[in-house]
Structure 1
């Protein structure tokens, strides 16, 4: 069982993340702390394999906490789950050894995918004495990039880039699946499938509009970054 600590100052988000994590087979949440100071104290007393960590917190923030962990040679794996889109923050935590970075708001499937990927990595390094190159390729970003970026079966890279390019080129604009289908000459069913994928990995934001009559409208906006 992979032992998890959640470090999040928003109680509702922390409980939601706990339910998400515990729904994935092989993971057990041992505790929740609201800042880096509490998390450091927890890690001193309790063996933890993985930390689900926010950046923006009172007292000791996520980056300072991660630096302190490494200073103390506490090589606990970390997945960042945060609203921060600042390149400097992302670069810092990746250099400090974060195994993944999820931008809020993200879909359950994106977190599940991250945890399942981590479980494969954990099993590889804990259950075997030696590994082969092929084993390492499976858990590296280079492998995922050479295999259509780890996309789910049935999606194609060129179609994804077509939809992504349209949305990325119109920052701040909300699109319906009908809008994108019309502009890309794709079917609404196809577009909806790709939008759901982009939403699940945290690249687009979903807004649901409820009108007086008929079904609610699903609108999608591409996340802008400061890079």
Structure 2
């Protein structure tokens, strides 16, 4: 059974108490989170993570008695349900790669800007809301659910990004007509099929060419200018 989600319990692991306090104040500005503790050493971190099992850990990398990567490895072995966001001055690519391999939710480089910090906390909150809903209602997840968990835009939002003059319904009609005529069609023929002008049909056809959904070739007749013939691409 999924545990109660909000507020999300957050633990700060940072040896500089001044920076830890700044991070705490940042967290308090974002609704839905509660800072349950601050750990400044390996011993404190082990004890508090084990006892509190927080939803989310903000983790620095540089400590006098350990590295954040070492602690991250321990977290993955001992408290795998806790998620981690690295908040560190470490810019070395090997540190980033090790952190990513161990499944961090995000990686924020110091000095921390509040807008960037808030953005990732809100994304994490949305992730927890989504995964909790899926956990409560399903034993399995479809592609749409997976895409939401990975922060990808739903299809409806993606459709809003079509260029001006291209609407989704007409675009689907044009693509369907091309799919049904394997030998290809001209813009005029497509326009007649969907009840639109040649100019309108050509605008949609050229858009589909730009997205690699269809191909266009020139056909040379016995008289007049060559015409563009549009054919569906079998992906």
User: TM-score interval w.r.t. the shorter chain?
Assistant: 0.5 to 0.7
Retained in 1: the 8 A contact 2:10–2:33?
yes
2:85 is the alignment partner of 1:79: yes
Residues 74 and 138 of structure 1: CA distance in aligned 2, closer, same or farther (over 3 Å): closer
Retained in 2: the 8 A contact 1:117–1:139?
no
Determine the structure 1 residue equivalent to 2:125: 119
Q: Secondary structure at the match of 1:48?
A: coil
Unaligned runs of 5+ in 1: 149-227
> Structure 1 residue 75: deviation in Å?
2.8
> Structure 1 residue 49: deviation in Å?
0.4
Query: What aligned pairs does 1:1-227 form with structure 2 within 5 A after superposition?
Result: 1-129=7-135, 130-140=140-150
Structure 1 CA distance for aligned equivalents of residues 55 and 24 of structure 2: 15
Q: Could you tell me the TM-score, scaled by structure 1's length?
A: 0.60
Structure 1 CA distance for aligned equivalents of residues 150 and 51 of structure 2: 31
Structure 1 CA distance for aligned equivalents of residues 145 and 31 of structure 2: 22
> Structure 1 residue 58: deviation in Å?
1.6
The structure with more radius of gyration: 2
Question: How big is the alpha-carbon RMSD for the aligned residues of Structure 1 and Structure 2?
Answer: 2.1
Retained in 1: the 8 A contact 2:53–2:82?
no
Runs of 4 or more above 3 Å deviation: 141-144
Higher relative contact order (CA 8 A, sep 6+): 1
Unaligned runs of 5+ in 2: 1-6, 159-235
Retained in 2: the 8 A contact 1:7–1:54?
yes
Give the paired residue count: 146
Retained in 2: the 8 A contact 1:37–1:59?
no
